[in-house]
Amino acid sequence: MNSKSAPRNDIWLASGVRTPFSKIDGALSDYDAIQLSVPLAQQMVGSLRNGALPDFTVWGTVVPNLTWSNIAREILMDAGVAPTVPAFSTIMACSTSMVGAIEAAGMIGNGSNQLALVGGVESMSNVQIGLPMKLSEWVKKFQQARSIGKKLSQLADLALRDVRLYIPAVTNRTSGLSMGEHTEITVKEWEIGRAEQDALSLRGHQRAVAGWESGFFDDLVIPVGGATRDTIPRADTSLERLGKLQPAFDKTSGKGTLTAGNSSPLTDGASSIWVASTEGLNRLPSTVPKVRLVDFELAAVDFRTEGLLMAPAFAIPRLLARHQLAYEDVGLWEIHEAFSGQVLFHIKAMEDAIFLKEKAKVDQSFGKFPFERLNPNGGSVALGHPFGATGGRILSQAVKELALMPIGTYAIVSICADGGQGSVMLLQNA
């Protein structure tokens, strides 16, 4: 799926703000998903010129709270944004807030809207614990019982084995395997070694730390509570330290290569970004970095045979082929790192002529991947990965990076998603 039938007008992305990212049960654990998002909505809307408002809002989260039917609307209401601004929620696993931006682009591209506030959030520290269906049904019947006798009768129907709590797990429903277990399978198939993964992880931490020290993140991150910056990047990590970590997912074969050091951690955080028409840009502060959305590609594969996180390796070549671009023609690459190994097998697949022709169905070579242009200020392994917020984080980061590059420079922004899906955008500094 791509933009052939979508935006007709020029669409722009403008950098938003995000919270600091923190590991689960860390600095942001006292804030639920709405509380993490409200400061962003307030900051973003409050920055608009002359009291302007967005035409609509799209927000998403991956792990749901059963008491919120539309988190986007709840965020705007708690933020004090004018109640006349429509808001709806979206979800596509780790691609959630990027897909929210794609949805917004479609609504703006036809000329009926000019400016959208898009965001995403995850509070892994505050995942709602659910009940199995049998216990849920019992609770409902118990509440509906009108008399003490009927309630006592319902109590007699409750067996101890039915009193179990359901804690959402980071596993795929179809396969029963976690993303890490799936990725272990794929890195073995593509022969991605432990040393390569650790080296990419170290590079990411070094670049994330350097990004903070240089001030790159200063206008992209706002304080929440006592947290003022990302807590995950490690200035003191090294290949030696990473090499001592034990496999986290394949613990028995002796061949496991994914560890806590080269995998993105469970993370709390929220992010935001603007999607605008050329006219809509007039509502934004003049200093906000902005770039043009050229095109996008969504892909889905049968992950039982192709790999759970492989879809971007199909989408990127298709998107570049449509615009007659080679890898070298792209000046900036932002590839989401669910795992270091996943980024590496994407790159290896995209350089493989057989994969391109037989799998991606693109019969051309794109050249050698320019590794030095990848994730210049760190990726998700070092910065963190709040599922619903990663799209907003990586897009705002890419927009700022690209806006500092020469006019005409292209960027690819890519996110893999659970379920064998992925989303990719082609951006240009115009």
Q: Domains of the chain, with CATH numbers?
A: 11-126+267-283 (3.40.47.10), 133-162 (no CATH), 179-216+244-264+293-428 (3.40.47.10)
Percent of the chain with pLDDT over 70: 96
- Residue 94 annotated as catalytic: yes
- Give 362-394 pLDDT, tens digit per residue: 999 999 999 999 999 999 999 999 999 999 999
pLDDT the model gives residue 4? 53
Measured at the CA of 351, the angle between CA 347 and CA 356, to 5 degrees, comes to: 110
Tell me the average pLDDT across 117-133.
Answer: 90
Neighbouring C-alpha atoms within 13 Å toward the C-beta of 289: 23
Dist. CA 295–CA 297, nearest whole Å: 7
Nearest to 349 by CA among 296, 309, 398: 309
Distances (CA, A) of 119 to 22, 61, 83, 256: 18, 9, 18, 35
Distance CA 196, CA 242 (A): 11
Q: Nearest CA to 58 among 105, 127, 5?
A: 105
pLDDT at site 404: 98
pLDDT, tens digit (0-9, with 9 covering 90-100), for 153-199: 777 777 766 766 666 667 898 999 999 999 999 999 999 999 999 99
Question: By C-alpha distance, which of 352, 289, 306, 297 is closest to 6?
Answer: 297
Residues 268-284 pLDDT 10s: 999 999 999 999 999 99
Parallel, antiparallel, or unpaired for β 330-335 and 290-300? unpaired
Q: Which helix (H) or strand (E) covers residue 292, if one does? A: strand 290-300
- Average per-residue pLDDT for the chain: 95
416 is catalytic: yes
Catalytic residue, from 182, 336, 346, 385: name it.
Answer: 385
Q: Map residue 241 onto helix, strand or coil.
A: helix
- Active-site position among 94, 182, 205, 346: 94
CB contact at 8 A, 22 and 28: yes
- Indicate the angle between helix axes 340-350 and 311-322, nearest 10 degrees: 40
Active site residue 346: no
pLDDT, mean of residues 77-99? 99
Q: Which residues pair with 88 in a beta bridge?
A: 58
From the list 205, 336, 346, 416, the catalytic residue is 416
Q: How far is CA 266 from CA 169, 251, 339, 361, in A?
A: 11, 19, 12, 34
